[in-house]
């Protein structure tokens, strides 16, 4: 038990690592982002940048060597790292220049930053939103869920230690992730509870607009023979009338590859399934009446309806429970979508980012202008 307890610091340390109180009047010196008086510090950013770099490094998940995190503006350590790893150039080829390696480091840094900062910002938004909504989530709840997950995934303490070493994370980082997941679930649950009752008028409207969903169409089992010419169809019809089986004639003379193998038999055909001329004819024909030749876009048909299965239609009263459930689910999805849109807009307007750390979550962010042709930009 003592081995497990030492992995769990006070949950307050998790939030302290992510957010620190700051005075009003611009971003404090150690902050890269500030949201409603709370700062994401450069140390926090660097910590998660290292985690992201570890996840993207060769051997991730197997205790890789500590990654070299690209640090602007000179990227000295990153350039030296790439120079050390670069294979000896082949004869006639030049080694990568420091300038090209710096560009590579800069690209890597920008990719990592665009992953890390949105995570840290949206994490702050979620924590603050939960507080504003009055959602209660105790340290005890978070620790219990953490222990449950850890026990399931890492039965032995050594396995958990190895996981931390291989990902560059700390228990505080994992606790934060657990807290965010629980907060997200609680917020969704609260939004879902705000749904209103579905009215009978809404149910009736949906039923009338989607009647086909609550019934089955008429089905007909038919026999067909398709020929290229009217004369060939008439000849095939005469053979059947003279006593030959429909199946034997179809297998011998029909040019329809689908039905020919089954002796012309097509089962449970529904309206609209066959081409227009044949569809109209078979759903107007009487059972067991041999008909044709029928001209179509594909040739000439001889056809016969063997049996029919009448259409069914579920009554409104029978369909009401399933319609209510569907409309309630749609309402919940719509409410959540609306909440997310408003949530992002509201918190983005409260998010100040330092120059060099501006991502789409920041209010300073401006969408890049679209280009319609090389060298031509549109607003």
C-alpha span between 95 and 111 (Å, rounded) = 25
> Quick check: pTM over 0.75?
no
Mean pLDDT of 343-348: 95
Q: Which two tokens stand for residue 277?
A: 């001329």
CATH 3.10.50.40 fits 218-310, yes or no: yes
Distance CA 344, CA 331 (A): 20
pLDDT value at residue 19:
47
CB 28 within 8 A of CB 352: no
Q: How far apart are CA 102 and CA 112, in angstroms?
A: 15
Asked if pLDDT for residue 20 goes beyond 70, the answer is: no
Strand-pair category, 370-373 with 291-295: unpaired
Over the stretch 211-252, which tens digit does the pLDDT of each residue have?
A: 999 999 999 999 999 999 999 999 999 999 999 999 999 999
CA atoms in the 13 A half-sphere facing the CB of 200: 2
Task: Tell me the two tokens of residue 106.
Answer: 């800069």
Predicted pLDDT of residue 371: 58
- Residue, of 228 and 11, whose pLDDT is higher: 228
Q: What is the pLDDT of residues 153-167, one digit of tens each?
A: 999 999 999 999 989
Give the separation between CA 347 and CA 339, rounded to whole angstroms. Answer: 12
Closest by CA position to 226, among listed 200, 206, 205, 246: 246
Domain(s) of CATH 3.10.50.40: residues in the chain: 218-310
C-beta separation of 18 from 44 below 8 A: yes
pLDDT digits (tens, 9 = 90+) for 74-92: 999 999 988 888 888 888 7
Helix (H, G, I), strand (E, B) or coil at 133: coil
Please report, to the nearest 10 degrees, the dihedral formed by the alpha carbons of residues 171, 177, 182, 184 taken in order. Answer: 160
């Amino acid at each position: 038990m003592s081995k497990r307890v030492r992995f769990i610091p006070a949950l307050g340390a998790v939030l302290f690592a992510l957010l620190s109180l700051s005075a009003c009047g611009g971003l404090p010196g150690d902050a890269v982002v500030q949201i409603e008086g709370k700062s994401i510090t450069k140390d926090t950013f660097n910590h998660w940048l290292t985690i992201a770099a570890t996840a993207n490094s060769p051997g991730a998940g197997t205790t890789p060597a500590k990654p070299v995190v690209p640090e602007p503006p000179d990227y000295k350590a990153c350039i030296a790292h790439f120079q050390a790893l670069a294979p000896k150039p082949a004869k006639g080829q030049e080694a990568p220049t420091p300038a090209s390696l710096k560009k590579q480091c800069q690209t890597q840094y920008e990719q990592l930053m665009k992953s890390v900062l949105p995570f840290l910002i949206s994490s702050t938004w979620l924590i603050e939103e939960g507080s504003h909504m009055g959602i209660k989530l105790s340290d005890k709840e978070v620790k219990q869920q953490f222990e449950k997950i850890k026990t399931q995934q890492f039965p032995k303490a050594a396995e958990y230690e190895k996981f931390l070493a291989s990902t560059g994370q700390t228990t505080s980082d994992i606790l934060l992730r657990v807290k965010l997941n629980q907060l997200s679930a609680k917020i969704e649950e609260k939004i879902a509870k705000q749904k209103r009752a579905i009215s009978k008028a809404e149910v009736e409207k949906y039923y009338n607009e989607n009647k086909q969903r609550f019934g089955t169409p008429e089905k007909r089992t038919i026999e067909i023979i398709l020929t290229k010419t009217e004369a060939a169809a008439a000849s095939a019809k005469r053979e059947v009338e003279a006593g030959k089986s429909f199946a034997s004639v179809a297998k011998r003379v029909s040019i329809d590859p689908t039905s020919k193998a089954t002796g012309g038999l097509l089962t449970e055909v529904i309206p609209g399934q066959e081409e227009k001329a044949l569809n109209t004819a078979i759903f107007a024909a009487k059972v067991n009446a041999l008909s044709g030749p029928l001209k179509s876009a594909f040739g000439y048909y001889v056809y016969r309806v063997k049996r029919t299965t009448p259409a069914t239609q579920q009554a409104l009263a029978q369909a009401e429970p399933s319609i209510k459930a569907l409309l309630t689910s749609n309402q919940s999805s719509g409410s959540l979508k609306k909440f997310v849109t408003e949530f992002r807009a509201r918190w983005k307007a409260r998010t100040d980012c330092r120059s060099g750390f501006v991502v789409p979550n920041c209010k300073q962010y401006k969408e890049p202008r679209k280009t319609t042709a090389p060298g031509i930009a549109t607003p």
